[in-house]
Structure 1
Amino acid sequence: MLINKVIKPNSLLSEKLRDLVVIIIFLFFFIGIGLPLISLISKAFHNYNNEFVGLKNFSEYLKSPNIFSSFKNTFFISIFSTSVSLILGFIYAYGISRCNLFSKRFLKLAILLPLFAPTMLHGISLVYLFGRMGLVTTGFFGHLPFLKMNINLYGPVGIIISEVMYTLPQVYLILLVSLKNSDYRLYEVSETLGGNKFKQFISVTLPSCKYAIFSSMIVSFILSFTDFGGPKVVGGNYNVLATDIFKQVVGQQNMERGAVISILLIIPALLAFFIENNISKKQRDVFNGSSTEYKVKKCVPRDIFFNVFSYLIATAIILLIITPVVTSFIKMWPYNFKLTLNNYKFFDLNGGPLSFYKNSLIIALFTSLAGTIISYLCAYISLKTEEIILIKKINNLFFIIPLALPGMVLGLSYIFFFNSQSFYLPFIGEIANPFNLIYRTIYILILVNIIHFFSVTYMTAFTGLKKLDKEFETIASSIGIPWYKTLFKVTIPLTLDTIGEIFMYYFFNTMTTVSAVIFLYTSTTTLATVAMINLNDMGDQAKAAAMGALIIGTNLFLKFIYELIKNWRKNEK
């Protein structure tokens, strides 16, 4: 047997089936992650003629005059964006959890709005506001000249603002959980010992949040280090590693150089990921299930400050989200402000960009369905087969690797593997590649999205399943009920909320992603986010904004429907 189980089904067929599922999971991830990464690494050590050249590609790239500036720029953007996101996110989360704020429900929704929009849309919004002919840059087109301000958008300033917009919700969510889990008894003890509010903040609040602070720093760093959308729209001539890969692969068709940059991009992301993973484990260890909930006391000066701050941040976010939506209805910004629907003419079924939006919907739905099933099943098998063996260790490694892989790196690795007619396996040699059949089809886009967003959904499913009482399986096993019947009749009904969260996460991210699919689409499988990039490159920002508005509207509509269903289920209970 492949697995020695703590829970032993009476049925041998059930036992064999579980072993088969583990093997299928291994093969799925070996094909979806292992072989593409092997192909990527191999490509970096070969030339155009597929001849082994060792470290020559790395040497040539590192000697190029622009390499140092790309590395320096990428690290600068990531560190600066992370610092700003951390400060803003901590203050916002502190206000939500520790202060009396007006309409907290609205503030909680506002901070999460960037999650529903593609990162390119943040850049497009900034162009409309702070570009050369932007609303603020021109002093509201000369009507309010005293408000005229030029922030030199194109370059590091624009990228940093875009990255802060992108990473702020993630930082806020991590810190909010930590602040909510702080034990109020520590504050009571500090107050009894005569500690003032400042001392409580230094000696209690910060120490209790230190792991969350470090974790949010690493997450923000990885996201901004590997992001492509923001730098592509507002980066100008300011090179970063993500845009370097795009230029080498799409602009110069230099696949070997693209593989080299991908590996260089992976290394810092992997290091940051393993640091964050270690910090997260420590953070989970300090959470105490018996902690007393924090009691918010009245303090007028504090509440005024946090209300003003929170609503300023919320207003800025809403402004950046609404601006491209509004401008998508304007005939020709900034010369003709007549309202029009011309920018939405991709609703024409005769070959217009409606096909891009339809492709995104189809891929998002199939990715969400398949991804939810796969991540849930992986979490269930991983949790219910407790004795660790080699194949399970490999699977567990596959489950977390996608979290550290930049989307562009994953997409490029898919080109090298799935576009190849054959591939090499150690100890076996060169064999034909049957998976080449899905290249240039919609299926490869579904697969890359399932893998790209898998780690978070797997951990969500694992956490949800871990909360269930283990006695369900024990009792079912003792009376001869197979594990799969227990799964469908007991486990799944008890974790429907978790399944819904996984589905929504996959859908939102698939609708807004561009980095993982930018190298894999064809003329018939172009996605809405890719269309946004192409429209923006052609100078048609209004249509790009309209496409972005469609994506936001779709995500918000689905979120609304999902919340209605959740509320209905709660009322039924």
Structure 2
Amino acid sequence: MALTLDPTSTPTQALTPAPHRRTRGTRRDPSVMIIVAVVVVILVLLLGLPMSKLVMAAFSAEGLAVFTGMFTNPANLRVVGNTMLLGLLVGVCGTLVGFLFAFAQVRLKFRGKRLLHLLALVPVVAPPFAVATATITLFGRSGVITSSLLGLNTDVYGLGGLVFVLTLSFSPVAYMNLKGMLENLDPSLDEAASDLGASKARIFFTVTLPMLAPGIAGSFLLLFVEGIADLANPLVLGGDYTVLSTRAYIAVTGEFNVQAGAAYSILLIIPALLVFLVQRYWTGKKQVTSVTGKPSGRAELITAPTLRIPVLVVVSAWIVVTITVYATVVAGGFLKVPGVNNEFTLDHFRFVLAGIG
């Protein structure tokens, strides 16, 4: 087909494409507007309405009394301090464990990586409450390991037990986050630094770690929030270590003071927002951007025993603890009183399934 040009038109006019006129129409697509409206309604019903009720109850007369007491009552100040300390320790320990697993999976050379990946995700499929009961059975005052095997008189209740259980439960979240970031790093950056004479340690601290800073900060924030918001484990393992979540629960169920419980819940949100703002500010200042394009190739796996062996020893020890804890959860369902009377029974399943004890 021949192409005919208007002799009165300039070449620029003839070759200029017609403007795209469907952008506004796409934005006003009825189906898109309906989906957006449905999402907004769902968010208002599931988040906006409960939060508005919570804020109204928290700023009532009883709720304001709780806010005032936070600055004058030493017991309330101690509860806030306990909550912040628990969140910080869970965030740091969980992120560290997740990073070691991710680093071993992506950067170290060893056999059994698929098995390690599956075992690292085991805590995802079980509720943390089950981990708390298994921890008491194994490491409690009459624990199978601490008392029966090692003859130790340990107390798993309190801060130490909470940090262990919450780290075991939530570290897979940090592992998955950091594993994806490590796999997406461009190996040419390490190769360029190595060609310039940088050692493995210098490459890690000046190239790898800065690129992972957003993922590390995000993992810490998520684990911090999970740590301070958890209720089941502090109720089981907290002992006399009271945090805001248990204090709010006791205010509602024990003191029948819904307004005080709402005030404690609002106080639980404030540390999470503060840590979020600090995380955003820190990652904003430490932001590093790669301009190398799409990653190509694979990073060279580390075989040096000085780094590989310590990391694998820590990871393997954590895997052994994880398997032991969850094996106790499974075996406990078939024992009359785990750790005390280990006789096989199906009475627990009969009670749960049929209500027959």
Query: TM-score, normalised on structure 2?
Result: 0.84
* Cα distance in 1 between the residues matched to 2:246 and 2:277: 25
Aligned to 1:99: 108
Hey, what does 1:252 align to over in structure 2? 255
- Is 1:37 equivalent to 2:40 in the alignment? no
1:317 CA drift (Å) = 1.1
Shift of the 5–273 alpha-carbon distance from structure 1 to 2, 3 Å rule, reads farther
Deviation for aligned residue 1:30: 1.5
Matches within 5 A, 1:170-209: 170-209=173-212
Q: Deviations 1:494-550 (Å, cap 9, x if unpaired)?
A: xxxxxxxxxxxxxxxxxxxxxxxxxxxxxxxxxxxxxxxxxxxxxxxxxxxxxxxxx
Q: Hey, what does 2:127 align to over in structure 1?
A: 118
Deviations 1:272-296 (A, max 9, x none): 3455567499979658651233121
Tell me by how many angstroms 1:9 deviates. 5.7
Change (3 A) 1:61 1:71: closer
Q: CA deviation at 1:83?
A: 2.1
| Correspondence for 1:290 | 294
**How does 1:77-88 map onto structure 2 within 5 Å?**
77-88=86-97
Displacement after TM superposition at 1:104 (Å): 0.6
Q: C-alpha displacement at 1:333, in angstroms?
A: 3.2
Cα offset, 1:344, TM superposition = 1.3
Deviations, residues 161-202 of structure 1 (Å, cap 9, x unaligned): 111112211121222122222221121122212222122222
* Structure-2 separation of matches of 1:139 and 1:218: 38
Partner residue, 1:265 = 268
1:8 partnered with 2:25: yes
Q: Secondary structure at the match of 1:148?
A: coil
Deviations along 1:305-355, whole A, 9 cap, x unmatched? 333332211111111111121122112233322111111123543x569xx
Give the match for residue 323 of structure 1.
328
Q: Is the contact made by 2:84 and 2:271 (CA closer than 8 Å) also made in structure 1?
A: no
CA distance in 2, matches of 1:26, 1:315: 46
Q: What is the distance in 2 between the residues matched to 1:285 and 1:203?
A: 13
Q: Are residue 108 (structure 1) and residue 117 (structure 2) matched?
A: yes
Q: Distance in 2 between matches of 1:238 and 1:202?
A: 37
Look up the SS of the partner of 1:100 in the other structure.
coil
SS at match of 1:239: coil
Equivalent-residue separation in structure 1 for 2:257 and 2:218 (angstroms): 36
Match of 1:27 in 2: 41
Q: Bigger shift: 217-226 or 285-294?
A: 285-294
> 1:398-419, CA deviations, whole angstroms, 9 ceiling, x for partnerless residues?
xxxxxxxxxxxxxxxxxxxxxx
What amino acid maps onto 2:47 in structure 1? I
> Does the C-alpha gap of structure 1 residues 207 and 8 become closer, same or farther in structure 2, counting only changes over 3 Å?
same
What's the secondary structure of 2:121's corresponding residue? Answer: helix
**In structure 2, do the counterparts of structure 1 residues 7 and 340 end up closer, same or farther at CA, with 3 Å as the change threshold?**
farther
CA, structure 1 residues 103+247, in 2 after alignment: closer, same or farther (shift >3 Å)? same
Deviates more, 1:235-244 or 1:294-303: 294-303
Aligned mates of 2:72, 2:285 — CA distance in 1:
40
Match of 2:4 in 1: none
Q: Which amino acid aligns with 1:20?
A: I
1:495-506 paired onto structure 2 within 5 Å: none
Identify if the C-alpha distance between structure 1 residues 284 and 153 changes in structure 2 by more than 3 Å, giving closer, same or farther.
same
Counterpart amino acid of residue 89 in structure 2: F
- Once the 2 structures are TM-superposed, how far is the Cα of residue 264 of structure 1 from its aligned partner? 0.6
Displacement of 1:139: 3.1
2:350 is the counterpart of 1:345: yes
Give the match for residue 541 of structure 1: none
What's the TM-score, normalizing by structure 1? Answer: 0.54
Give the letter for the 1:290 counterpart: K
Q: Could you say if the C-alpha distance between residues 347 and 230 of structure 1 is closer, same or farther in structure 2, counting changes exceeding 3 Å? A: closer
The change in CA–CA distance for 1:346 and 1:99 in structure 2 (over 3 A counts) is same
Alignment partner, residue 227 of structure 1:
230
Tell me how far 1:28 sits from its aligned partner. 2.2
Residue 137 of structure 2: aligned partner: 128
Displacement of 1:22 after TM fit?
2.3
Q: 1:209 to 1:192 in 2, by over 3 A?
A: same
Partner of 2:9: none
Q: State the Cα RMSD in Å.
A: 2.8
Residue 154 of structure 1: CA displacement? 0.8
When residues 9 and 73 of structure 1 are mapped into structure 2, their CA distance, relative to the original with a 3 A threshold, is closer
- Segment drifting more, 320-329 vs 59-68: 59-68
Amino acid of the structure 2 residue aligned with 1:6 = T
Q: 1:102 deviation in Å?
A: 1.9
Change (3 A) 1:288 1:256: farther
For this pair of structures, how many residues does the alignment match? 335
* Shift, 1:214, TM fit: 1.7
Structure 2: runs of 5+ lacking an equivalent: 1-20
Match of 1:89 among 85, 98, 104: 98
Aligned partners of 2:69 and 2:76 also within 8 Å: no
One-letter code aligned to 2:251: Q
SS of 1:136 mapped into structure 2: helix
Quick one: distance in 1 between partners of 2:123 and 2:137?
A: 17
- Equivalent positions of 1:33-72 (< 5 A) are 33-47=47-61, 55-60=64-69, 62-72=71-81
**Equivalent position of 2:244 in the other structure:** 241
Identity %: 28
Q: Is the 8 A contact 1:81 1:164 kept in 2?
A: yes
The structure-2 alpha-carbon separation of the partners of 1:285 and 1:199, relative to structure 1 and needing over 3 Å to count, comes to: closer
Distance 1:231 1:352 in 2: 30
Q: Find the partner of 2:171 among 168, 173, 176.
A: 168
CA contact (8 A) 1:155 1:238 kept: yes
Code of the residue aligned with 1:157 in structure 2: it is G
Question: Do the aligned residues in 1 keep the contact of 2:87 with 2:228 (CA within 8 Å)?
Answer: yes
Decide whether the 8 Å contact of 2:79 with 2:244 is kept in 1. Answer: yes
The structure 1 residue matched to 2:162, chosen from 159, 162, 165, is 159
**Residue 113 of structure 1: how far off its partner (Å):** 1.0
For 1:94, the aligned partner's letter is F
Deviation at 1:225, TM superposition (A): 1.5
CA 1:302/1:62 → structure 2, altered by over 3 Å: closer, same or farther? closer
1:138 aligns with 2:142: no
CA distance in 1 between partners of 2:238 and 2:294 (Å): 48
Q: Shift of residue 124 of structure 1?
A: 0.6
Q: 1:280 to 1:323 in 2, by over 3 A?
A: farther
Give 1:17 shift: 3.8
